Amino acid sequence: MATLNPSKFDVTPEQQASIPRFMYQQLTFKPEAITDIDLKGKTAIVTGSNTGVGFETARQLLDLGVSKLILAVRNEEKGAAAKVKLSEGRGLPKDGTGTTIEVWKLDLSDYDTVVSFAARAEKELSTLDIAILNAGVLSLSQSFNKNTGHDEVIQVNYLSTALLTILLLPVFKSKRASQSGPSRMSIVSSEVAGWTNFKESKPLPSSILGALDDKSAKVDMTDRMMVSKLLQHFFLVELAKIVPASLVQINAVSPGTVYGTEFDRDRTGLSGAIFQVMKKRLANPPPVGARMITDAAVRHGEDVHGEFLSFQKMVPSV
């Protein structure tokens, strides 16, 4: 666990993990739109960008003038539809000049596509200035990845996201000389990392993954998603210790509670409809939640390397 520097934060870890505090901020905080950044000449990747906050983050990067935008999606047909929507009214040139939007396949359930995606980035991109790792899942019932045997929520939200992060590091390094400054990477996470009781760690097993993959265990899937976000935070803290901010500035960020996304697409029927009505009373629409992701990805520097941003402010992560 990281050793916190109290001077960096105006809240304690216990205060940050308070659910009433989160609810108050969710209801009262109005995320600032990002308008004072020029991304002309920059290349950005956004995973899970065909819908929800990923889509809206991609739109905001285009509004800031990003020159090349990679929509990294599991379903290329949906990615192509998102590209059409993002292109509307922009007059994007068809001759390859100016801003370009490309759709690349990335399925976080399949390690092979993660490896192929990173290799393609190395081969085809001249720079890689921004990477926003947004793709994630929340399942109502437990399933196990057919290729790895791991719990699917842990597979997508943590293991494959961590693998993609690691594989992109040499890409950042190879492109650094062509860029005016370090790259930026934001992993989309959540305040719920501080809400889990992480029962699988008590007592500490010989293998955390083994405990999470126990097919005989009774699992609260909401808590399992929280665990996946906590593991993201642990990963980020350790990664930032060995990756210099002069190469890539890495942080985690929460978009807060957002309605109208596919993150909780498994909630269907009457209960799902009731849940969505209740969520709308608390949550922000995707364009507003995306402001917090865009802020983390483009407005901060070395001060947030290895840190977590909540409601556009650096807070304790673990």
The model's pLDDT over 290-312, given as tens digits with 9 standing for 90+, comes to 999 999 999 998 999 999 999 99
Contact, 161 vs 181, CB < 8 A? Answer: no
Does the residue 99 lie in any domain? yes
Assign residue 202 the CATH number of its domain: 3.40.50.720
Reading the block at residue 242, the tokens are 């060995």
Alpha-carbon distance of 100 to 92, in angstroms, equals 7
Give yes or no for residue 229 having a pLDDT over 70.
yes
Task: State the sign of the Cα–Cα–Cα–Cα dihedral 237, 238, 242, 243.
Answer: negative
Does the residue 27 lie in any domain? yes
Omega of the bond prior to 170 within 30 degrees of 0, cis? no
> Residues 102, 104, 108, 112: what is their CA dihedral angle, to the nearest 10 degrees?
-160
CA atoms within 13 A on the CB side of 151: 30
SS3 for 259? coil
Mean of per-residue pLDDT scores for the chain: 91
Does the residue 1 lie in any domain? no
pTM summary value: 0.91
Does the residue 10 lie in any domain? yes
Across the range 175-192, mean pLDDT stands at 96
Alpha-carbon distance of 247 to 173, in angstroms, equals 7
Contact, 60 vs 291, CB < 8 A? Answer: yes
pLDDT at 275: 45
pLDDT at 226: 96
Across the range 65-69, mean pLDDT stands at 96
DSSP for residue 95: S
User: What is the band of 178 on the pLDDT scale with cuts at 50, 70, 90?
Assistant: very high
Does the residue 160 lie in any domain? yes
User: What is the band of 66 on the pLDDT scale with cuts at 50, 70, 90?
Assistant: very high
- The label of the residue with tokens 């109005």 reads 30
Task: Residue 68: name the closest of 39, 95, 100 by CA.
Answer: 100
Which residue segment(s) compose the domain that 102 sits in? Answer: 6-315
Contact, 43 vs 126, CB < 8 A? Answer: yes
Reading the block at residue 75, the tokens are 């379903």
Q: How would you classify the pairing of strands 313-315 and 307-310?
A: antiparallel
Instruction: Give residue-wise pLDDT tens across range 80-124.
Output: 999 999 998 877 665 445 579 999 999 999 999 999 999 999 999
User: What is the band of 262 on the pLDDT scale with cuts at 50, 70, 90?
Assistant: low
How many domains are there within the chain?
1
64 versus 94: the higher-pLDDT residue is: 64
Which alpha helices (DSSP H) does 17-155 contain, by range? 19-28, 52-63, 76-87, 111-124, 152-154
